[in-house]
Structure 1
Amino acid sequence: MNNTPQPLQVLFLWNLIFTGGEGFKQDLKPELKPASKRKELIKWGLIQEEKRKTKKGSQALYIQLTEKGWKWANDNITAEFSNRSTASAPALAALLSRLNNYLNQHHLSLAEILGLLNSDPVANEPEIDLEQRIRDAYYQISDEKWNVRVHLHELRQSLPDISRESLDQKLLDMQKQEKLVLYNMDDVRNIRPEDEDAAIDIAGFKRHILYMEG
């Protein structure tokens, strides 16, 4: 028996995921016709449905992605979906909206998320615990305080033996792992030449300072 969702079913699942993983059937796109197409997803354990009361007080089918459905999505990100349905555009819009929220919350750029920056380790660099050295340097510069502003030029001065490329890449990796946050300096009047020289340029946006929690 073939338990592989077909392109239109795949698009339905992605729309469901990008809009929060649940919703009333009448609000979900594309509409799966015949109903057996939706029933197949239930049979395979990817979604579940029940009757719920709407805001208007009437009863309607409410659909939720199951844990198995989330696992399917994680394992089948490249699954073929229908490109003929008009529901493709809302799916993309919902994804971009969630991506935008994530970028804003974590102070990241789209370039960082898409991996446009070189993530290869620098050749012939001696193996060191660079993350720990960064943490130690930050703690020393900040007078043994966490979650306070430290200028990148101060950090670079504290780690003179680390190449700029290696240090930049490690800082970006740590930001992705939510171990620190890189910020720009909002008031350009406070940006000194050493701040400008030490800044990390991410897709045209310069980050001059960092915050790190202990």
Structure 2
Amino acid sequence: MTTKDNGQKHLSTRKRTSRAPKKRKKSVDAREANGGLTGKQALALWELVIMGDGKTASQRSVELDRSEVKGLESARLITVEKGPRKKDPTWGSKLHVTDAGWEWANHQGLGARLSQTKAAAPVLAALLAKVGAYLEYHNLALAHLMRPRPADKEQDGVASTAVAPQTGPAPGEGAPTAPGEAAPAALEDRIRAAYLHVTGGALNQYVRLALLRAQLRDEQVEAVDAVLRGMQEKGGAVLYPIDDPQRIRPEDDAAALRVSGERRDLLCIEG
């Protein structure tokens, strides 16, 4: 081998070794920006949020291998609905975005670094930037835009009504049970209005009691708790705990209530 050949070989090796750290750095930077997800996983999760979840692999644009799906599932950002084949449950399986996945999209996902495809990633990144700026300006959650199920007209009317504190009883409802405390029926109406206000007029959504209480800050906590328990006993409303301790915030601790000695953090009004 000539000296010239040795020099070219050395130069080629040096170029390859100098590029490797940059590639690893980009991968590390993406995972840091995405909360531990690769750019491909982040793009796949955004596809589920934007285009709708509950789809099989053949119905999705972003292809994920088993390890990538497992990574999203282990992070509790998705759940996997097994396919119809018992011997191969991954065949025809469907991916569903969890509440934690929506939480990721609401916050970290809006600044995510996505896998760079020819057209989808730049367009999607621009869309996310505009959506994020809009939501932040209007103090809205992403679920208000992407996944609400509109209530019927009567309930929409309730959602659009103000949830300001009542200074007196509504016609035909009688006097409040105590000074500064609404009657149970009136308080239940206020709770429903506050719920629809938080969800943007949607039913069947999990609402943190912390957000609900912020809308009902002028009501006595004990009275609100009593009505919430009564709503669950009557049916049509369900109180849930937050199962993942990592998702519990200080405001959730302050807003939690007890039902038969068990903690509850979320309210869902069914419709």
Query: Which band: TM-score by shorter chain?
Result: 0.3 to 0.5
Greater relative contact order (CA < 8 Å, ≥ 6 in sequence): 1
The normalised TM-score by structure 1 is: 0.41
- With the length of structure 2 as denominator, give the TM-score of the two structures: 0.33
* Greater share of helix: 2
Question: Higher strand fraction: Structure 1 or Structure 2?
Answer: 1
